[in-house]
A and B are shown apart, each in its own frame.
Chain A
Amino acid sequence: MAIALKTTSFLQTRKSQSHFLRLSAPTFTVSFKSRTVMATLSIAPAVGLSETFSRLKQQGKVALIPFITAGDPDLSTTAEALKVLDSCGSDIIELGVPYSDPLADGPVIQAAATRALARGTDFNSIIFMLKEVVPQLSCPVALFTYYNPILKRGTEKFMSIVKDAGVRGLVVPDVPLEETEVLRTEAAKNNIELVLLTTPTTPIDRMKAIVEASEGFVYLVSSVGVTGTRSSVSSRVESLLREIKEKTAKPVAVGFGISKPEHVKQIAGWGADGVIVGSAMVKLLGEAKSPEDGLKELGTFTKSLKAALP
């Protein structure tokens, strides 16, 4: 904020100058305060996915993007987990909406979804929780959901509900590029970035179309398969990263199978702008002796991953 002062009036009347200054200072302070107040009252963090990546790039850092399933073991633990992840160094958090038929997910996330649904987790309760928690987070939240729950509500309504909860990004793994236009239009109206996935089996021309259309970042699936921890990262990731970066300047985050600090370090070394860690996180929370233990382990694990990243 720039304050222009007329030098003549400033010099001529010292009384008035100090008076002016006294007047201007509170004015300045009040404006600043009101801005801060607006920031805390606002239901969306000021920063979206693209902006987060830009900031990190300037700092020479790689984004850590954990994924957890909402409602496993229960929504109040999920609420706490979001805060733990945020405070332990996550740059973006992906929150999975549990679904009865998750085609892209392996046994760990499938089991988490089944448990969450069995506890009665539904979309409305997830949104309710997010409305309370998102304002307390410093990093943006992206929802990971399959298409049918979106269709059931209607795309327009779904996007508007999700926007009101403060969500800034969306990943829908079972909608092909050709069908994403409507989703993208409605998401854009609501300031939500629709992230698209590209995989090792995607031919180069199609990959080019995907990266052009993707918003927020490009999600590179590291291997041919579903989600789930793997012992090592496929070496194909290095060449895939290179190919994608020839086609776009957008940030690229790698996901599926990444579960250890060594993996994260390796992928960052290959030039990824972000790493997504899902099943390893979900497993920690789901298999812990108690929710408190799970949250503690989650925090430790997140910090170890963050430490392995530049």
Chain B
Amino acid sequence: MAISVSSSCRNPTSPYKSFSSSLYLPRIPFKFEKYQYGCSDFKPASISCVMTRESAIQVEEMEKKWNNFQRPDSFGRFGKFGGKYVPETLMHALAELESAFLSLSVDEEFQKELDGILRDYVGRESPLYFAERLTEEYKRPNGEGPHIYLKREDLNHTGAHKINNAVAQALLAKRLGKKRIIAETGAGQHGVATATVCARFGLQCIIYMGAQDMERQALNVFRIKLLGAEVRAVSSGTATLKDATSEAIRDWVTNVESTHYILGSVAGPHPYPMMVRDFHAVIGKETRKQAMEKWGGMPDVLVACVGGGSNAMGLFHEFVNDADVRLIGVEAAGFGLDSGRHAATLTKGDVGVLHGAMSYLLQDDDGQIVEPHSISAGFQESISIGGHNTSFGDISCIRLFGEIMPNTAKWI
């Protein structure tokens, strides 16, 4: 879910001023009726946030850099990030996928079919909901404050934004003549979305899930199986999302001729980050239209949580060239950024290669990939963040905050 905030919160001074005085960093505690983890001595916690990779880039310099930036270039790179770091066996399949995607993105019949499915099956457009009480909560004593709107991707079929990408890739796979679909999943949301679309289109579906994640998310495992998909437990390595992704890639290497791999985020080898971004771009496009309808203008600030980055990219991509719109991504800081137990990849990671792409990763001194920590299995995805987000992070048009939220499963 993403927040877009309208004009009354605009900071008249430099947009790159520190956010410590910002309205959305309250000192009041959040109260959650829903899920409380380890709640026996639950104390309402104050939120503390840390800005990441601050650099003194001026607006003009940023714009100049951004305009010369191809996203991605012909090698699938976003600046120095991205690329195709996979075994040679997959290279031809990736080239085939890229050329199919590029030709279908200008194919009117395909776009019409996809739009129809997004409308009638997924349930788009998702509402842009004015959060009245949240807005009230953050009003300053003088009555000014942000108008907070929530883009309700949770109201899509299967309960998240994941289905936008899953449904489009399933259609693409059908066009390529593939009958077997594989996917990785962490919390299970992408697994459920993939199993759902495979049931819809009559495709064989195999979902790889870390054995540890399967225990934590047994309900989603049940849903996936109910939809007729096979769930394969991955016990190698840390038995979590990163190992499920590695195993899915290995399956793809072995069955590349018959199988399409529906990658769930803007990660992985080119053309996946580009494809997944473009399939989720509908979120941002709708937001622009709805903002115009609701308050006759553009959002001032867009905020999105960042696991792998798909939901953030879906919202931000539409507004990347709008210098007046501030883009804020939020990563999970777990037990604190200095604790070593967090999921703040962009804040604390180093540049490296994982699952086919160059990105910021959580890794040790030997270059071995480290498991992130988060209460929510879904935040496991942030071991490496999609090339877009990392290239954004380097140019500093995105401000990332580590948010420490003990004892709560979701921060919104």
Complex: how many Å from CA A147 to CA B87?
A: 11
Whether A226 lies near B367 (C-beta < 8 A) is no
B22-30, B193-201, B345-353: which lies at the interface: B345-353
Whether A202 lies near B366 (C-beta < 8 A) is no
> Which residues from 67 to 102 on chain B have a C-beta closer than 8 Å to any C-beta of chain A?
75, 83-93
Residues of B within 8 A of A100 (CB): 237, 368-369
Whether A173 lies near B350 (C-beta < 8 A) is no
Residues of A within 8 A of B83 (CB): 176, 179
Complex: how many Å from CA A151 to CA B358?
A: 10
Whether B243 lies near A104 (C-beta < 8 A) is no
Whether B366 lies near A224 (C-beta < 8 A) is no
Q: Does B256 contact A (CB under 8 A)?
A: yes
Contacts between chains A and B (CB distance < 8 A), count = 121
Whether A149 lies near B87 (C-beta < 8 A) is no
Complex: how many Å from CA A146 to CA B350?
A: 17
Nearest-neighbour CB distance to chain A for B78, whole angstroms, equals 15
Q: Does A110 contact B (CB under 8 A)?
A: yes
Question: Could you say which of B85, B236, B366 contacts A176, with CB atoms under 8 Å apart?
Answer: B85
Complex: how many Å from CA A31 to CA B368?
A: 48
Q: A174-B85, A174-B86 are in contact. Are A151 and B351 (CB under 8 A)?
A: yes
Complex: how many Å from CA A224 to CA B88?
A: 10
Whether B86 lies near A152 (C-beta < 8 A) is no
Nearest-neighbour CB distance to chain B for A64, whole angstroms, equals 23
Q: Does B179 contact A (CB under 8 A)?
A: no
> Which residues from 162 to 194 on chain A have a C-beta closer than 8 Å to any C-beta of chain B?
173-179
Chain B interface, number of residues (Cβ within 8 angstroms) = 39
Complex: how many Å from CA A176 to CA B95?
A: 12
Whether B88 lies near A152 (C-beta < 8 A) is no
Nearest-neighbour CB distance to chain A for B83, whole angstroms, equals 7
Q: Does B257 contact A (CB under 8 A)?
A: yes
Complex: how many Å from CA A258 to CA B329?
A: 48
Nearest-neighbour CB distance to chain A for B363, whole angstroms, equals 7
Residues of B within 8 A of A199 (CB): 87-89
Complex: how many Å from CA A151 to CA B369?
A: 13
Residues of A within 8 A of B45 (CB): none
Nearest-neighbour CB distance to chain B for A150, whole angstroms, equals 8
Whether A202 lies near B92 (C-beta < 8 A) is yes
Nearest-neighbour CB distance to chain A for B183, whole angstroms, equals 16
Whether B84 lies near A224 (C-beta < 8 A) is no
> Which residues from 88 to 141 on chain B have a C-beta closer than 8 Å to any C-beta of chain A?
88-93
Whether A104 lies near B87 (C-beta < 8 A) is yes
Nearest-neighbour CB distance to chain B for A231, whole angstroms, equals 15
Whether A152 lies near B236 (C-beta < 8 A) is no
Whether A114 lies near B86 (C-beta < 8 A) is no
Q: Does A198 contact B (CB under 8 A)?
A: yes
Q: A176-B85, A201-B92, A226-B250 are in contact. Are A151 and B367 (CB under 8 A)?
A: yes
> Which residues from 215 to 254 on chain A have a C-beta closer than 8 Å to any C-beta of chain B?
221, 224-226
Minimum CB distance partner of B250 in chain A: A226
Residues of A within 8 A of B215 (CB): none
Residues of B within 8 A of A151 (CB): 351-353, 358, 367
Residues of A within 8 A of B246 (CB): 101-103
Complex: how many Å from CA A176 to CA B269?
A: 11
Nearest-neighbour CB distance to chain B for A137, whole angstroms, equals 25
Of residues B75, B86, B361, which shows the largest number of chain A Cβ atoms within 10 Å of its Cβ? Answer: B86
Whether A103 lies near B87 (C-beta < 8 A) is yes
Question: Could you say which of B91, B256, B366 contacts A122, with CB atoms under 8 Å apart?
Answer: B366
Of residues A179, A200, A206, which shows the largest number of chain B Cβ atoms within 10 Å of its Cβ? Answer: A179
Whether A201 lies near B352 (C-beta < 8 A) is no
Nearest-neighbour CB distance to chain B for A122, whole angstroms, equals 5
Q: A152-B352, A152-B367 are in contact. Are A175 and B254 (CB under 8 A)?
A: no
24 A/B residue pairs, CB under 8 Å, sorted by A: A101-B242, A101-B354, A101-B369, A102-B246, A104-B250, A111-B236, A146-B353, A150-B367, A151-B352, A152-B367, A153-B367, A174-B87, A174-B356, A176-B83, A177-B88, A178-B75, A178-B84, A197-B87, A199-B88, A200-B89, A201-B88, A201-B92, A224-B257, A226-B253
Which B residues form the contact surface with A (CB < 8 A)?
A: 75, 83-93, 236-237, 242-243, 246, 249-250, 253-257, 350-356, 358, 361, 363, 365-369
Name 19 extra pairs, CB < 8 A, besides A152-B350, A226-B253: A100-B368, A103-B86, A103-B246, A103-B253, A104-B87, A148-B354, A150-B367, A151-B353, A151-B367, A174-B85, A174-B86, A176-B86, A201-B88, A201-B91, A201-B257, A202-B88, A210-B88, A224-B89, A226-B250
Which A residues form the contact surface with B (CB < 8 A)?
A: 99-107, 110-111, 114, 117, 122-123, 146-153, 173-179, 196-203, 206, 210, 221, 224-226
9 smallest beta-carbon distances between A and B, as pairs: A152-B367, A149-B367, A225-B254, A100-B368, A199-B89, A104-B87, A148-B367, A100-B369, A148-B352
